[in-house]
Amino acid sequence: MGIDAEQVLWSELAGRGVSHVRAISDNDIVDLVSRYALWIPLDTFSAAPWIAPFAVRKVRIRTDPRAPGPRRDLWGMPDEDGYFTDDNSLIKPVVQRLNTSSSSPYKGSQVTRGLVCCHLWPSTTTDPLLFSFIPNLAWVPKSLASYTDAHMQGPPHRAHYALRSAARARYEALIPLVGQERVRRAWQALPADLQTNGHDNTNHEVLAGRKISDLATKRVGRMISFLEATLDGTAPLPNRFSKRYHAGVGPRIDRSVWPVQEAVSVEARERLLADLRACIT
């Protein structure tokens, strides 16, 4: 049976007599964020550095000239470059129902509720190089998530830099088994960290085994096969990649959304295909 990360956090805070996170000192916020954050294992990063390298985060899509019709949610459409437009659904659930380390506040349990997936560097979610890049991701209880953001109205909290520092310490020196050149470009694209928090981070991983890396590799393989089939004029058109990312044939597709052959140019699909092949070689 899974547990709720929020309940675990607030059980600790209630024991301290805390009723609101605003009553917690900055030092204690850094400590809580560092202790309660969950990370993807190093072995997973080595085998599959991105969870969904074919995707980008978009603001809520309600209208698009390539999807005529009334206003409605259009998540999962390809953008003009062919990247899958996500609302974080491809990333958020990957740590759920995985055991945690016994030394974590979750004491080895599976966390099924109450976690928020945080992107550690700002302005990175619309870049497919960085959106699902594992070092850019950590999961924290919902009540602590705002402290991990880079807010436009003021300087980020020290907890934001604590997680960035932890991510670099965890992953940056690793040479992955695949996608090495793309990983190099991803690290180069992340802003340098001028501030360090000096906190002794405790990094707790989910116990994923090969589950996350196998999922990521399978996803990339499916997208590569789909794109190859749309570019091969002699092959039958493929069944859908997803409901709104399709070639116009097969069941369970949104036929109000243009097929990818019409929505995305041949040149853009070829570039995307090359980018995805670079993730697995």
Rounded Cα distance, 115 and 125, in Å: 18
Range of the domain at 256: 3-277
Q: Kindly report, residue by residue over 135-153, the tens digit of the pLDDT.
A: 999 999 999 999 998 765 6
> In sequence order, which residues have a C-beta less than 8 Å from that of residue 133 and are 6 or more positions away?
49, 50, 124, 186
| Mean pLDDT, range 188-197, rounded to an integer | 75
Largest Cα separation within the chain, whole Å, is 69
Q: What element of type H or E holds 168?
A: helix 158-171
Rounded CA-CA distance 186/137 in Å is 13
The Cα 254–Cα 236 span in angstroms is 19
Question: What's the number of domains the chain is made of?
Answer: 1
Mean pLDDT (the chain) is 93
What average pLDDT does this structure show over 208-218?
98
Q: What would the pLDDT profile of 51-99 be if each residue is shown by its tens digit?
A: 999 999 987 777 888 988 888 888 899 999 999 999 999 999 999 999 9
